[in-house]
Chains A and B, each alone.
Chain A
Amino acid sequence: MNDALPAHAPLESIEEVELGLESAGYIASRRIATAIYLAHHLQKPILVEGYAGVGKTELAKSVATWLKLPLIRMQCYEGLDESKALYEWKYGKQLLYTQILKDKINSVVGEDDNLTVALEKLHSFGDIFFSRQFLEPRPLLRALEQPGGAVLLIDEIDKSDQEFEAFLLEILSDYQVTIPELGTIGTLVPPIVLLTSNATRDLGDALKRRCLHLHIGFPDEKLEARIIASRVPGIDARLLKQLVSFVQQLRGIDLKKAPSISETIDWARVMVLLHTAVLEVDLVRDTLNVLLKFEADIEVANKQIAGLTHKARQDAGV
């Protein structure tokens, strides 16, 4: 699968993508696989939205693992700017350089008294201060410069400012960046770009237009069971069925924050640790805080635990 060909060769068909992601431990729905497939072939970034914990960041990691590409991650936050995202000049090194230059200036320029001659000599050295040696590449630039391509994950883009979003547009549509002192820097192999968002604010239309938009919702029972089976190896099939059924029911209740896949996985791990075979009401009550993160939610769910547990056991035939 990974011979000398360019790294993206496995992206031949959607089925390949599905299988490949599965080999990296990510069970993708067909919709997700289609998105990755199209992102590669249309060379477009994917904007991934969905509730916290449905596997947005995990998707990027798995794509990187599968394609054996470096994953370059950029966490967004309020106040993030281009000096932290794209590049920065190494001020310290530049200062140091100035000091050295000061000492050596005489030997470089010589003993010429004539200012014009001295300046001319200096000019012939070129623009040393603003050259690649003094450039500190940050995630975005690093992603563009990877010789074999990369997976660039721009995490929680909704946390960044609107200005930063606008700044991203050049990279997202043309895979190039402009550094005023150096000119435009392009890329050899366009990276696969994934942006994630929790929708704390509406993103701009310009950004959305440049991206494929993938919404990852909660998985159905079958898919969730597969995901957990792959993430928690060695889990008993009957326990798995009960867990999934319970969580699926829990999502039906009116909660502030419904449990996501990551919570289900955590819960499954807890259950395996506790050597559980059959869900018991007391056990569920004690471990409910793994699934639900709000006091009010736990209170609401507490009242219905007995019924939900019973139903889950029935579904699993225990």
Chain B
Amino acid sequence: MSGFVAGVATASEPLRRFFQVARGAGLRVSAAEGIDAARAVDLVGFSDRVLLKDTLALILAKTPDEKQLYEEAFELYFKRDAFSGRTDGEDDDDREHGEGQAPNRGPQAGGDGMGGSGGQSLGQLLESDDRATLATEMEKAAREAGLENIRFFTQKNLYARRILDRMGLRALERDMEAMRQTGTPENLGRAQFLEGRVEQLRDSVRDFVERNLILFAKGETEKFREELLKSARLSNLERRDMDRMRILVRQMAKKLAARYAKTRRRRLRGHLDTRRTLRRNMGWGGIPFITVWKQKRIEKPRVMVLCDVSGSVAAMSGFLLMFLYALNEALSDIRSFAFAGSLIEVSEILEKEPVEQAISKIMQTIGYGSSNYGNSFADFEDGWMQFVNNKTTVIVLGDGRGNRTDPRTDVIGRLSQRSKRIIWLNPEYKSAWGTGDSDMYRYAPFCNLVTVCNTLRQLERVITDILEDAA
């Protein structure tokens, strides 16, 4: 592993490992940035820790969030080096490893721990309590065992075992067994003494592995968890995941908003706007000094959301509203309505308060009843149908289960004529549509899109479609 970068600046090995740690922590360190960082470190050197930290921060971390992550990773990684006493320890080791000039460690260098001499030397180290050498040995064994590949906490014991083996624990245990069998009080005492020391060694190795798990795998585990959450059904999320979900929703929305918020006007290259060009150049007698090009104006979508907030669909509604309001800047206008037995407008509550509190407030006012779709749609027609025009996208979120009340498909029919389109999001699986009291198939003919939507990923896809359609 160390030969991999041989010939590059001496600083490269610890630095390269730090990049790996930084990636593990969730930073995106590209190869180019790695080269820049190495060049910068060549300039400033390793001696000044604060300077090193500032330098790498300039190159590796490019947003405030990343700066935070970077700071944690830096502290964790370079603290560990300080613990073993030397920053340039890696280079030392490599040299010894290559030239075999370390007399007391020589036998272990290639060791898988099966050799008797290896065990003896571990025993000696433990007896003499040479912590510095032990720490170095541990690091070396860890590298041989490929500790930087650790990803999950379940691998902790496996790696600890491997490291101990490489340090020669098995041989030592055999020796200790032999000592015990001789039965002399001196040997028995020594074995007991060693036993205590081995216990300490185990503890420190386990500790070491744990630290490395945090170093190398934190980002991965988080990412894994997030991926899982994105495709988990929103209705059966656990309470402890809620905070993380909110962050996720905000991240996704921010990404979409950044992509779609800006493109309002796009110049059409090569299409001369003759009328405006002539007018602009009247001063020069119509000779076109300044050219004006045609522009395409891009409408931001106007959205009206009708959310079922009764029992089963409530969680999903919360997320949809959260998503849409986080997207605010990419939409020109958004009005939201909540319904169960009847329908009310909730735009004002959502604008005044942070979405999380607003949602619980809405739920208290109207939610958790049994839903009556027909009644709610009629309410909408009475109060707000007049505001719907051919630029409005209407999103209905609900399972379409109206408890056997009149579905009032006629209202939805009129709504579909007035609006640009109706999108119906149903958190139920398709196989359940039309069963029992579900009126989904009665509404479906009037909707431009009816789709299953019960995970964050599906939600993102639907909303991207809405935005894309407008662009």
Contacts and interface: CB of A to CB of B under 8 A. Distances in A.
Interface of A: 14, 30-31, 34-35, 38, 41-42, 44, 46-47, 49, 78-79, 91-92, 95, 161-162, 201-202, 205, 208-209, 211-215
A76 B451 CA distance: 42
A35 B58 contact: yes
Contact of A209 (B33, B63, B262, B287): B33
A92 B258 contact: no
B36 interface: yes
Interface residues of B, number: 30
Interface in B378-431: none
A19 to B, nearest CB: 16
Contacts of B432: none
A201 B30 CA distance: 22
Given A35-B58, A92-B289, A161-B262, A209 B51 contact: no
Contacts of A47: 62
B50 A38 contact: no
Contacts of B36: 42, 44
B100 to A, nearest CB: 39
B289 A42 contact: no
Interface of B: 28, 30, 32-33, 36, 39-40, 43-44, 50-51, 54-55, 57-59, 61-64, 67, 254-255, 258, 261-262, 265, 267, 287, 289
Contact of A38 (B58, B67, B261): B58
B144 to A, nearest CB: 34
A203 to B, nearest CB: 9
A187 B267 CA distance: 31
Contact of B43 (A38, A162, A212): A38
Contacts of A209: 30, 32-33, 62
- B-side interface mostly: helix
Contact of A41 (B43, B57, B62): B43
B258 A202 contact: yes
Contacts of B67: 215
Interface centre among B32, B54, B63, B254 (most CB of A within 10 A): B54
B312 to A, nearest CB: 36
A123 B445 CA distance: 69
Nearest to A208: B62
22 contacts: A14-B44, A34-B55, A34-B58, A38-B43, A38-B44, A38-B55, A38-B58, A41-B43, A42-B36, A42-B39, A79-B267, A201-B262, A202-B63, A202-B254, A202-B258, A208-B62, A209-B62, A213-B58, A213-B59, A213-B62, A213-B63, A215-B64
B354 to A, nearest CB: 13
A208 B36 CA distance: 13
A41 B42 CA distance: 11
Contacts of B55: 34, 38
Interface centre among B57, B67, B267 (most CB of A within 10 A): B57
A49 B66 CA distance: 13
Contacts of A14: 44, 51
Contacts of A42: 36, 39-40, 43
Contact of B258 (A95, A201, A212): A201
Nearest to A41: B43
A30 B58 CA distance: 12
Given A41-B40, A212-B58, 10 more contacts: A30-B51, A34-B51, A38-B59, A41-B43, A44-B36, A46-B58, A79-B265, A91-B289, A95-B287, A162-B262
Interface centre among B51, B58, B258, B267 (most CB of A within 10 A): B58
